Every structure is written in C-alpha cells, then in structure tokens.
C-alpha cells in the first residue's frame, strides 16, 4: 500500500497538477514522500529476518546515497534506495503489476484533467515550427512519452515478452500515437527498439546466451564510460558536421551534458548544479540549461561513489537475473540503461522499476512453489 501511495505522490510531482495547487501543498507533498520512504525502512531493519551485519551494511549504503542526495539536492535516489531495500524477497511480478496499474491510472486521470482544462497546459512548440507538442498534463512532452515507454516495457516484462501477435498492432498504434502527440524522437526510437525486442525475443535470447555473462557484465560499465567520454569530447569540436548532427538528433542533450562537464568539477560525494528549466520547459528571458542524461547526472551531480554503487548494483542485478534465467529482466535493464543516456529517470521511481529486480524474488520456480 505504501508503495502505491508513494508512486501516486511521485507521479503528481511530475505533472501540472502541482501548478494548480498552492505552493505550500507541494512542500508538504515532498515531506510526505520522504516520510513514507523512512517508514518502509522499518521492514528490512526491524521486521525482516536479516543478520545484524547485513543491516549494518544496508544502513551504511543508505547513508552514502543520502549524502549524494543531500549534496546534489536530489531526493529521488534515496527514496528509490529505501524502497529497494524494503523489496527484499517480495514477488517482483507483483511489484511490476502494482507499478503498471498505478502509473496507468495516474496517467489516465492526469490526461482527463488536462483535456477538461482543470489543470494547466505544459504543451510547447517544436523549435522553428508551429507544430505543438502535447504533454497531456505531464510536466513536458518528453516526460509524457517516457511514461508511455516505461508502461509498455512493464507490460512486456509482466507478460514475459509472450504477447500474442494479433496484439502487436496495438503496441504499434500506441507507439505511433505517442509520437504524433508528443513529437518526441528519442522516446519514439526507444519504443520501436522495445517493440523489436518483443517481436524477435526468442532469437535475441539465443544471441544473449551465446554472448554469455562476461559480455553482459562488460556492457554496463563500458556504456557508462563510453557515453561519458563521448559527451566530454563533444566540447572540443561542437560545430563539426557529425557532432552537430548528433547533438540535433539528441535534442541538444550532448551539448548541455558537455557544458556541464566542463563548467563544473567532478567530486566523490555529489555536487549541486543549478539548472534553468526542466526537461523541455524553458523560461522567458533565460538561457536554458538542464542535464537530461541520468549518466551525466550521476557522475556530475551525485558523485563518483554513487555512480560506482549504481554500476556495481546493475552488475549484481545482471548476474542474479542470469542465475535464475530471467533474460527478460536483463533486456529490460538494457532498455532502461539506453533510456538513461537521454533522460533523467533512472532512479525516479515513477518511471524506472527494473532496479527492484536486484533484491526482489525473481526466481519463477520458487514463486510457483509458493503458489
């Protein structure tokens, strides 16, 4: 129940519902989400049968993440970490199910409030055109498309990527409609990639098995390092045709990430970086500056230690999923990682859900026996 309440509150904070409410309400909402995150820690620390030594490590790890959260002025990672800790041995399928129906309900309610003009609009124009990008009550069109992407992936995972072919047309229709409404190129490409994995799932799993676990374990740190170096290098020649084209297709994310890397120092425990705008929301008379990439946000804002923790946790998640032959979980993690290169939602619980698989019960055999 606390998980569902937290999802609803976090979802609300990313909508224009907050614009229609008094400012003080928003502050109370943040405090409530923080209080719930503290309450769920009672499960692993007081209720669950966990060795004292492991509880000490949990507290130490949460303290490190809290420090990064405090220094960067970002609460999302400590909230997610608290709920991950509380998800120990919980049925992962039930977590995904609760996430899917809660987020879908919130999205439908928000869109209805927007259509009935009860809440403000956050629609924007595509630069240099008269084409309107609709957000349907979400804080930005890109965030609206990200919600659809994660809902699609959650449904695919819940069904084990076993969806009847006659239903594929529904997925394609959702992908196309989302693109028409939000005009978000990158999320459109991500949704097409997810659809590709759905269609060719069995063949892709055979390829994964041939590549083996060593390859998969090298992909995650390699991807973090490659994208970071790629973004950092952009600053040296941003006007070259290839770089300019790539930056355009990434909606300016490459340039903004590179600017952050050259303007602010890296440190171990996190760093506050003032930003103007949020996602694609700009303010009149001010220069837009926002770091969309979760990878760059991790390194520049949350610190080197937090970045190392999240990389090691992902590696552990892959090894755990491989052990239980949950190749579907690995594919969703890869999709989430690719998405994290272009958006800030990796540790935002209202979007990303796959990190729960590191501690929740993903062993299908044990789940079947318990039933």
List of residues 6+ apart from 59 with CB closer than 8 A: 45
| 3 state DSSP class of 252 | coil
Mean pLDDT for the chain? Answer: 89
**C-alpha distances in Å from residue 28, one per residue of 25, 109, 144, 286, 300:** 5, 22, 24, 29, 29
Give, as one character, the DSSP assignment of residue 239.
Answer: T
Q: Residue 125 has which token pair?
A: 């124009």
Q: How many residues does the chain have?
A: 371
Tens digits of residue pLDDT in 88-104: 989 999 999 999 999 99
Considering the entire predicted model, what is its pTM?
Answer: 0.91
Query: 9-23, 67-81, 191-205, 269-283 — which is least confidently predicted?
Result: 269-283
Q: pLDDT at residue 242 above 90?
A: no
Q: What is the pLDDT of residue 232?
A: 73
Backbone angles phi, psi at 281, to 5 degrees: -85, 120
CA angle 160, 165, 167 (to 5 degrees): 85
Q: How confident is the model at residue 371 (pLDDT cuts 50, 70, 90)?
A: very low
Q: pLDDT at residue 321 above 60?
A: yes
> What is the Cα gyration radius of the chain?
20
State the DSSP H helix or E strand holding residue 133, giving kind and residue range, or none if neither. Answer: strand 132-133
What is the rounded distance in angstroms from the CA atom of residue 353 to the CA atom of residue 332? 10
Q: pLDDT at residue 289 above 70?
A: yes
365 exposed, middle or buried (CB, 10 Å; 0-12, 13-18, 19+)? exposed
Q: What is the pLDDT of residue 49?
A: 85
Q: What is the pLDDT of residue 151?
A: 97
Among residues of the chain, what percentage have pLDDT more than 90?
Answer: 64
**C-alpha distances in Å from residue 137, one per residue of 114, 130, 279:** 5, 20, 14
Domain ranges of the chain: 2-213+302-370
């Amino acid at each position: 129940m606390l998980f569902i309440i937290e999802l609803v509150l976090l979802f609300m904070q990313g909508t224009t519902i907050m614009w229609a409410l008094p400012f003080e309400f928003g502050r109370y909402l943040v405090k409530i989400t923080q209080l719930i995150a503290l309450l769920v820690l009672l499960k692993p620390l007081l209720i669950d049968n966990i060795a004292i030594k492991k509880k000490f490590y949990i507290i130490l790890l949460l303290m490190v993440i809290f420090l990064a959260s405090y220094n960067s002025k970002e609460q999302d990672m400590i909230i997610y970490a608290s709920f991950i800790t509380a998800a120990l041995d919980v049925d992962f399928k039930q977590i995904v199910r609760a996430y899917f129906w809660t987020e879908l309900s919130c999205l439908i309610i928000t869109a209805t409030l927007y259509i009935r003009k009860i809440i403000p609009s956050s629609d924007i124009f595509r630069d240099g055109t008269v084409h309107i990008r609709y957000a349907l009550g979400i804080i930005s069109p890109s965030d609206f498309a990200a919600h659809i992407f994660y809902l699609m992936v959650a449904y695919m995972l819940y069904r084990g990527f076993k969806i009847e072919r006659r239903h594929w047309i529904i997925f394609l229709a959702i992908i196309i409609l989302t693109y028409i409404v939000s005009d978000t190129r990158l999320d459109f490409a991500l949704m097409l990639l997810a659809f590709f994995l759905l269609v060719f799932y069995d063949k892709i799993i055979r390829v994964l098995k041939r590549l083996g676990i060593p390859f998969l374990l090298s992909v995650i740190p390699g991807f973090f390092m490659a994208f970071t170096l790629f973004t950092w290098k952009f600053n040296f020649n941003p006007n070259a045709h290839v770089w300019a084209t790539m930056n355009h297709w990434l909606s300016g994310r490459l340039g903004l990430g590179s600017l952050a890397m050259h303007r602010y120092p890296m440190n171990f425990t996190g760093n506050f970086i003032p930003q103007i705008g949020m996602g694609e929301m700009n303010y009149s008379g001010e220069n837009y500056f926002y770091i969309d990439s979760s990878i760059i946000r991790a390194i520049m804002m949350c610190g080197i230690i937090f970045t190392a923790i999240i990389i090691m946790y992902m590696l552990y998640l892959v090894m755990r999923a491989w052990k239980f032959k949950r190749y579907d979980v690995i594919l969703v993690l890869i999709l989430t990682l690719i998405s994290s290169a272009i958006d800030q939602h990796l540790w935002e619980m209202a979007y990303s859900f796959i990190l729960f698989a590191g501690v929740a019960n993903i062993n299908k055999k044990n789940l079947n026996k318990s039933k």
